[in-house]
Amino acid sequence: MTSRVLIAGIGNVFHGDDGFGVEVVSRLSTRDLPPEAVVADYGIRGVHLAYELLDGGYETTIFVDAMQRGEAPGTVYVLDADPATGTPHTEGPVLDAHGMHPAAVLALLRRLGGTPGRVYVVGCEPLTLDEGMGLSDPVAAAVDEAARRVRELVHDALERGGVDVSRHSR
């Protein structure tokens, strides 16, 4: 069976830098990726994403999303969110259609009876998540770097059957 990779852009384009993941996958869809890589904009449709992971047969998933970790706006992160290495597990309700961050999507997937393969998050520190369209300057400047890192993760996952995330981390 051929290995497959899902690249899922997550975020709300009506909340400034939260549209980062959507912009990165838009940029990626115009780039040369192997046919085993599926690029999709899930926006705020986290429930749909969980069902895609349940039925899609992906060995690797790469979430692309804005994420606050306390660094300078525009900082790009690559995180290993593999369950074997301690994916954050969310408790309580996970069916908030407007707040389906990667951990909530994975929690819903588990509740549906699915198990994720390898999971990575390529994130970017936002400047603003206020209402409004368009990315801030530092986050817009990080889109190409994030797309480059996603392409590296895809190629590593397909060539070696896994990724050494330390090669890609900040």
DSSP string, 46-101: HHHHHHHHHHS--SEEEEEEE---SS-TT-EEEEE--GGG------S----TT---
Position 70: which residue type?
G
pLDDT of residue 90: 36
Q: pLDDT: is 99 or 27 the higher one? A: 27
Laid out side by side, the sheet with 5-10 consists of 37-43, 5-10, 60-66, 118-124, 76-80
**Ranges 41-45, 47-51, 65-69, 96-100: which has the least confidence:** 96-100
Q: What is the pLDDT of residue 137?
A: 97
User: Mean pLDDT of all residues in the chain?
Assistant: 81
- Look at residue 96 and tell me whether its pLDDT is greater than 90: no
129-167: pLDDT as tens digits: 999 999 999 999 999 999 999 999 999 998 876 444 444
Q: Give 168 or 103, the one with higher predicted confidence.
A: 103
Give the residue among 110, 131, 135, 139 at the shortest CA–CA distance from 50.
110
68 and 139 Cβ atoms separated by less than 8 Å: no
Domain locations in the chain?
A: 5-167
pTM score, whole prediction? 0.81
Where is 109: in which H helix or E strand?
Answer: helix 102-111
**Residue 48's pLDDT is what?**
77
Is the Cβ–Cβ distance between 169 and 78 less than 8 Å? yes
Among the four given CATH numbers 3.10.129.10, 1.10.645.10, 3.30.1360.20, 3.40.50.1450, the one describing domain 5-167: 3.40.50.1450
pLDDT in tens, 116-138: 888 899 999 999 999 999 999 99
Antiparallel, parallel or unpaired: β 76-80 and 60-66: unpaired
